[in-house]
Amino acid sequence: MFDTLKVAVFVIMTLLPGYNVLLLIDGRKDVASLEGLGISYILGLGILSMEIFLLGMAGVDFNLWVIILPWAALSVMNAIRHKKGFFRYCSFKAQKYDLVEAGLISLVSLQLLYTFFRAVVRPIESYDSVAIHALKAKILYLAGNIPGSFFQDLAGNFHGAHPDYPLMVSFSEVWMYMISGGFDDFAAKWIFPFFFLFFTFVFHAVLYRIVQKRKAALFLTFFMVSIAQVSAYATIGSADLILGAFFFMGFSYMLFWLGDRSNKAYFMLSLLSAMLLFWIKNEGIMLAAILIPCLFSRLMRKSKKTLREELKPGVILFMLLLCAPILIWMLFVRYNGLVNENFNLSMVNIGRILQNYNKIPQILYEYQKHIFGFKKWNLIWIIMLILAVTGRRFVFSSHVFPASVCILAFFLSYTLVYMMSDVEIGFFLRTTTSRFLLHILPIGFIWVGYMLKPMKITEGM
């Protein structure tokens, strides 16, 4: 059994980069304590995995101290600069909860504990994990660096390992092995329920900011964590829930920033989360692209003159900074001759869409199976459908509009991918739809949160 101490060290070391970056950007103290810890872990994992990759590509062997050194230095600087404020995301004020709130917190805690148990009682074993992410992590960790022929070897020796796939999950596992001091297929499993726990903190804080009622935010948090598909994917070592969490953060903090353009913390949190989307799964590039129409859907509500003015502070910069790492990664993938056989840019053309229009009924049938199939999703898609029908006049109101655009753009994009891909459609839908829906689900809750307010459903809470 993996040492409790090693788990604690892993969590603290993973929090370190995100925590210190957050202290740098959150000068106005807009981020709450648990939210701050959640962001620290999530961004920390993204930053550390990227750092190990970049150092490895520069020829530096994997070394714990080299990786942690800049963050330790930044911690000292932040501790001197902020003094007592350094621990502001770790200090919690005792709050009074009524019976319903206490009940909801208990249910959320129960679900989280069960998720932890399910995750760590088994070794790495799920299909995508052993075929892709954990396999790469094992190869990389045992090599002690990124071998010059790593991508070519993957393509040549490991069919189905997808050498073109982004490496965040693999390098997160390498990071865990570095801390635990050896390859351990049980140790790696701790990464994922912790990610779920910290994401729950961020999720609740974001929803609270939207619905402005603690109880309503707790209800939505309970609904999210208790969805069978969500908790299952928090245990198996796959990248889908992680992608959904980063997409959620990129989208929500972007909306908060657009609501308060002077807020640098929200701007940076959205940007950092969105910039890391490409690093989790190939679909992340598409999700980052979806953020652009969402951004404009908010700005479009202004007059033409104001729109031009609105573009000036930050929006262009946001888009440029978002695109830069994606373009670099795409060039890297192209330079190394890494091609995804299921879907790649050469498949993107209108001819294919027109040619494959007959796939649409099958795709829609698969979507409805999930909407009405509450085994994996409980009632969430049904609730969203009922809200969309009963509150249709609010779907395109100014607050709800960006989330509506996001959900519509998401389904449109994935439908087009299904239509353009060469993979046999029945197999493709069967094996991917339930995972793809995890990418949009947390933003679905944002949409619900924004819909509740004009429909006055939260008034009694």
Partner 1 sequence: MNIKINSRKLTLIITAIWIVLWVNFILRDLLKRGALFEYAELLKRDAAGRRSFVYGDGLYSFLEFAKKKLPEGASFKIVGIEKYSIEHRRSVYYLYPRIESERPSHILVFGPKGYRMNGFKKIYELKGVCLILERSTSV
What is the nearest approach in angstroms of partner 1 to the Cβ of residue 437? 17
| Residue 390 near partner 1 by CB under 8 A | yes
What is the nearest approach in angstroms of partner 1 to the Cβ of residue 325? 30
Phi, psi torsion values for 124, nearest 5 degrees: -60, 125
The Cα–Cα gap between 330 and 324 comes to 10
Gyration radius from the chain CA atoms: 22
| Residue 91 near partner 1 by CB under 8 A | no
| Residue 392 near partner 1 by CB under 8 A | no
Among 41, 219, 257, 414, binds partner 1 (CB under 8 A): 219
Residue 299 or residue 371: which is nearer to partner 1 going by CB? 371
State how far Cα 67 lies from the chain centre: 23
| Residue 3 near partner 1 by CB under 8 A | no
Residue 84 or residue 159: which is nearer to partner 1 going by CB? 159
Q: Assign residue 238 a region: left if phi > 0, alpha if psi is -120 to 50, beta otherwise?
A: beta
Residue 226 or residue 362: which is nearer to partner 1 going by CB? 226
For residue 149, give the H/E element and its range.
Answer: none
Could you tell me the CA-to-CA distances from 298 to 285, 304, 306, 347, 403 in Å, in that order? 21, 13, 12, 31, 10
Judged by CB under 8 A, the chain residues 141 through 160 that form the site for partner 1 are 142, 157-160
Judged by CB under 8 A, the chain residues 440 through 459 that form the site for partner 1 are 455-459
Q: Say if residue 33 is exposed, middle or buried (CB neighbours under 10 Å; 0-12, 13-18, 19+).
A: middle
Number of residues that bind partner 1 (CB under 8 A): 41
CA angle 430, 431, 434 (to 5 degrees): 80
What is the nearest approach in angstroms of partner 1 to the Cβ of residue 133? 10
Residue 28 or residue 430: which is nearer to partner 1 going by CB? 430
Judged by CB under 8 A, the chain residues 311 through 350 that form the site for partner 1 are none
Q: Residue 186 in contact with residue 2, Cβ under 8 Å?
A: yes
**Cβ partners under 8 Å of residue 409, min gap 6:** 290, 293, 294
For residue 383, give the H/E element and its range.
Answer: helix 380-390
Among 35, 185, 240, 310, binds partner 1 (CB under 8 A): 185
Return the range that interacts with partner 1 (CB under 8 A); candidates 14-22, 132-140, 355-363, 408-416.
Answer: 132-140
Could you tell me the CA-to-CA distances from 111 to 42, 115, 214 in Å, in that order? 20, 6, 19
- Strand, coil or helix: what is 150? helix
| Residue 125 near partner 1 by CB under 8 A | yes
Residue 79 or residue 383: which is nearer to partner 1 going by CB? 383
Among 60, 74, 105, 107, binds partner 1 (CB under 8 A): 107
| Residue 131 near partner 1 by CB under 8 A | yes
Among 138, 281, 298, 359, binds partner 1 (CB under 8 A): 138
Tokens at 104, concatenated: 């909801």
| Residue 114 near partner 1 by CB under 8 A | yes
What is the nearest approach in angstroms of partner 1 to the Cβ of residue 348? 27
| Residue 374 near partner 1 by CB under 8 A | yes
The 8-class DSSP code of residue 359 comes to: G
The Cα–Cα gap between 229 and 218 comes to 19
What is the nearest approach in angstroms of partner 1 to the Cβ of residue 431? 13
Residue 134 or residue 288: which is nearer to partner 1 going by CB? 134
User: Which amino acid makes up residue 9?
Assistant: V
Return the range that interacts with partner 1 (CB under 8 A); candidates 37-45, 166-174, 221-229, 288-296.
Answer: 221-229
| Residue 379 near partner 1 by CB under 8 A | yes
| Residue 289 near partner 1 by CB under 8 A | no
Return the range that interacts with partner 1 (CB under 8 A); candidates 63-71, 204-212, 220-228, 439-447.
Answer: 220-228
Among 152, 362, 378, 433, binds partner 1 (CB under 8 A): 378
DSSP 62-103: P-HHHHHHHHHHHHHHHHHHHGGGGGTTT--------HHHHH
| Residue 113 near partner 1 by CB under 8 A | no
Judged by CB under 8 A, the chain residues 228 through 247 that form the site for partner 1 are 228
Q: Residue 255 in contact with residue 292, Cβ under 8 Å?
A: no
Q: Say if residue 22 is exposed, middle or buried (CB neighbours under 10 Å; 0-12, 13-18, 19+).
A: buried
Return the range that interacts with partner 1 (CB under 8 A); candidates 7-15, 171-179, 218-226, 404-412.
Answer: 218-226
What is the nearest approach in angstroms of partner 1 to the Cβ of residue 3? 12
Q: Residue 37 in contact with residue 90, Cβ under 8 Å?
A: yes
Could you tell me the CA-to-CA distances from 357 to 420, 426, 429 in Å, in that order? 10, 14, 15
Contact positions toward partner 1, by CB under 8 A?
A: 1, 107, 114, 117, 121-125, 127, 130-131, 134-135, 138-139, 142, 157-160, 185-186, 219, 223, 226, 228, 374-375, 378-379, 383, 390-391, 455-461
